[in-house]
Amino acid sequence: MTSAVLQDQGIRPLVLVIMGVSGCGKTTLASGLHNLLGWPYQEGDLLHPKANVEKMAAGIPLTDADRMPWLERCHDWLKQRVESGQGGILTCSALKRSYRDILRADAPGIVFVYLEIPPDILKARLERRRGHYMPPSLLPSQLATLEPPTPDEHPVVVTLEETPADMIAKTIGILQERYPE
């Protein structure tokens, strides 16, 4: 996409981390933002080491030690995008503040977009999802690990919307207001 698309949306190039527990809509939002803004997009799940994927597929929650190589890969991608100055979008659960601190280390200006959705809706979404290694049985461990971003982290908080289009539009509106071109 061209820079004209960026100008049409009225948002300066940003590096976004679309965060939240599994099933909250990270991929849907990231794909929609990528299509509208034209910024490079990386699905964070694809950066997990094979051992992590196998562990989750077996219904075993990841430990902080398990997550470290994945967080480092995510950080490296984010840092490259910050250095490029051209924006970027990464999906990453970023469940704990300490994980977010790793992601934003030496990569100033990263914006965390937190998707806040009620647990009952998350559970229903995970039960309907096919072809993903994350089983619904791991949702309680993710919710127990979750430390929602605090105001001092300046997150963009997006709550459940009626449709994916509504969620994307709401996020674009917040970004236009906070980060005008």
Examine residue 8 and state whether it is found in any structural domain, yes or no.
Answer: no
How many domains is the chain built from? 1
Examine residue 6 and state whether it is found in any structural domain, yes or no.
Answer: no
Q: Single out the residue of 138, 139, 172 nearest to residue 6, CA to CA.
A: 172
Which tokens hold the place of 32? 């929609």
Q: Among positive and negative, which fits the CA dihedral 148, 151, 154, 157?
A: positive
Q: Among positive and negative, which fits the CA dihedral 57, 62, 66, 72?
A: positive
Q: Which domain holds residue 39?
A: 13-177
Q: What contacts 176, CB < 8 A, 6 or more positions away?
A: 9, 10, 11
The domain that holds 51 is classified in CATH as 3.40.50.300
User: Other CB atoms closer than 10 Å to residue 103's CB: what's the count?
Assistant: 24
Note if the pTM is more than 0.85: yes
pLDDT digits (tens, 9 = 90+) for 3-27: 444 446 889 999 999 999 887 889 9
pLDDT digits (tens, 9 = 90+) for 43-69: 998 999 999 989 888 888 889 999 999
